[in-house]
Amino acid sequence: MDASISVPPLFPPLQPYRSGMLPVDELHTLYWEECGNPDGVPVLFLHGGPGGGITAIHRQFFDPAYYRIVLFDQRGSGKSTPLGEIRDNSTPLLIADIEVLRRMLDIKQWLLFGGSWGATLALAYGQAHPQACLGFVLRGIFLCTQAEIDWFLYGMRTIFPEAHEAFIDEIPEHERTDLLHAYARRLFGDDTELATRTARNWSRYEGSCLFLRPQKETIDACGSDAIALGIGRLEAHYFLHQGFMAQDQLISGIDRIRHLPAVIVQGRYDAVCPPVSAYRLHQAWPQAKMHIIEDAGHAAMEPGTTAALVAATEQFRRQQAFD
């Protein structure tokens, strides 16, 4: 576990050379894009949330001269439609979507890159389809256990009490012993205005806790309907179903991907996904390299974390050159 990593900053901004909308069933259509080198080594970026969506800066973790960079918005997220839709939305279906995308793009194998829920999905996909994976770059580990869900709903108040107070402010006191179902009743009820306001509260709560030093612009962005409807509705939906996985499924399935190269990047002061989960994953998977970033929280865009993630993609590039 080493945080002393020296690397260049993010790669310069770039535009997709190809993008589209991919229908995956009668309800959901996914936005996808490709950038970088069309003949390069494929890498799949998996965004967080669930419901977070991709942004332009996510393209910049990868050397565009070397990588064929694939990004997509998961069901109910970003530019995918319908936004915030929880019907026919589950981890097995997301895994199936990734395979549909891989086959459509005629990719045999790709590197998986994901943070937070993106790391969860990368592990779940990898364990379902190890033959399609070249390796993993994982940040801010979330194993989707009940303990982690409870931490998000209750434990974060020990570090961010003001944010938690705002999170529960509109929930009557007698409902606060079961915040998840209290939120679900409002998020998934018939009152559209209430559902939107509740989703905004959920998303702002998470946004308030992402950085070691909270960023006002991030909190404000998390309050926008475009982000809040995906984050608030889908995170609650997935939490209600424990991520549609068996308890500790991602730990018990490590043997299926143990042979593949992996890097774990974890902020020491990550309040959203505390380091204990990354530590548990590394204990089960000691072959993976783990970097603890001593001056970072949960967000990918904190300097030490960003540097470590770019270093991981560059390390993979160098290793591939000698294989």
Q: Which of 224, 242, 260 is the last residue of a domain?
A: 242
Task: Specify the pTM.
Answer: 0.95
Instruction: Looking at the structure, tell me whether residues 232 and 309 fall in a common domain.
Output: no
Strands 110-115 and 289-293: unpaired
Instruction: Looking at the structure, tell me whether residues 126 and 152 fall in a common domain.
Output: no
Residue 2 has a pLDDT of 41
Sheet strands (E) in 13-163: 18-23, 29-36, 41-46, 67-72, 110-115, 133-139
Instruction: Looking at the structure, tell me whether residues 140 and 150 fall in a common domain.
Output: no
Instruction: Looking at the structure, tell me whether residues 216 and 281 fall in a common domain.
Output: no
60-100 pLDDT tens trace: 999 999 999 999 999 999 999 999 999 999 999 999 999 99
Residue 7 forms part of a structural domain: no
Distance CA(163)–CA(169), nearest Å, equals: 10
Q: Provide the domain count of the chain.
A: 2
Distance CA(54)–CA(72), nearest Å, equals: 7
Residue 5 forms part of a structural domain: no
Enumerate the active-site residues: 116, 270, 298
Instruction: Looking at the structure, tell me whether residues 222 and 76 fall in a common domain.
Output: no
Instruction: Looking at the structure, tell me whether residues 203 and 249 fall in a common domain.
Output: no
Instruction: Looking at the structure, tell me whether residues 154 and 230 fall in a common domain.
Output: yes
Q: Is residue 16 reached through a cis peptide bond, with omega within 30 degrees of 0 on the bond before it?
A: no
On whether the CB atoms of residues 202 and 236 are closer than 8 A, the answer is: yes
The CATH number of the domain holding residue 100 is 3.40.50.1820
Nearest to 222 by CA among 211, 234, 206: 206
**pLDDT band (50, 70, 90) for residue 268:** very high
Q: Which of 222, 242, 262 is the last residue of a domain?
A: 242
Q: In one letter, which amino acid is 4? A: S
Domain extent for 210: 146-242
Instruction: Looking at the structure, tell me whether residues 101 and 216 fall in a common domain.
Output: no
Instruction: Looking at the structure, tell me whether residues 194 and 89 fall in a common domain.
Output: no
Instruction: Looking at the structure, tell me whether residues 43 and 124 fall in a common domain.
Output: yes
Residue 323 has a pLDDT of 54
Instruction: Looking at the structure, tell me whether residues 133 and 249 fall in a common domain.
Output: yes
Residue 88 has a pLDDT of 98
